[in-house]
């Protein structure tokens, strides 16, 4: 249940931050439109998951003693928290840094969180993804994104 609540809160934060950006219209979406839709979708999915958890029948008691729950040894909970915090920080920095730089830094940080520790490879992947997303969203789809230091 904690995961559903955490994801719901994360979606709400994403919605709140996206409302600070211009939304535009369905025909001409602004830079806040896509994060708004994603935040609302995340809140909906987290709410559905929470309802499913509440409606699930508890397991019948078994006579065998259950071992104490173990915390994940691989640090997956920490990764999820870092991942969500990084996305929230990138959303907050979108306006001051601009779309291109914030998407580059977001991808670089997410690759590090996911375990890619080769900085030259991470930088190349982050640069390629930032350039590709710029071409797709700004050039091809003509979605106005916040401009920063570079574009």
Closest CA to 93 of 31, 139, 26: 31
How many Å apart are CA 12 and CA 25, to the nearest integer? 21
Q: pLDDT tens, 84-132?
A: 899 999 988 888 899 999 999 999 999 998 888 888 999 999 999 999 9
> Which of these ranges, 24-38, 85-99, 126-140, has the smallest mean pLDDT?
24-38
How many Å apart are CA 5 and CA 46, to the nearest integer? 7
How many other CB atoms are there within 10 angstroms of residue 41's CB atom? 12
Is the pLDDT at 71 greater than 60? The verdict is: no
Q: pLDDT tens, 43-69?
A: 998 899 888 888 886 765 556 666 656
Domains of the chain, by residue range, sit at 1-56, 76-146
Rounded to two decimals, what is the model's pTM? Answer: 0.56
Q: Are 104 and 86 in contact (CB under 8 A)?
A: no
């Amino acid at each position: 249940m904690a995961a559903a609540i955490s994801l719901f809160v994360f979606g709400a934060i994403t919605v709140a931050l996206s409302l600070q950006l211009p939304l535009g219209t369905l025909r001409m979406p602004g830079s806040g439109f896509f994060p708004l839709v994603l935040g609302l979708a995340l809140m909906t999915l987290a709410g559905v998951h929470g309802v499913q958890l509440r409606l699930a029948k508890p397991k019948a008691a078994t006579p065998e003693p259950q071992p104490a729950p173990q915390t994940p040894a691989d640090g997956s909970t920490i990764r999820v928290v870092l991942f969500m915090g990084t996305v929230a920080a990138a959303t907050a920095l979108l306006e001051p840094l601009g779309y291109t730089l914030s998407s580059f830094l977001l991808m670089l940080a997410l690759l590090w969180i996911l375990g890619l520790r080769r900085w030259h490879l991470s930088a190349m992947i982050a640069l390629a993804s930032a350039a590709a997303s710029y071409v797709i969203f700004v050039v091809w789809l003509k979605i106005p994104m916040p401009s920063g230091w570079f574009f």
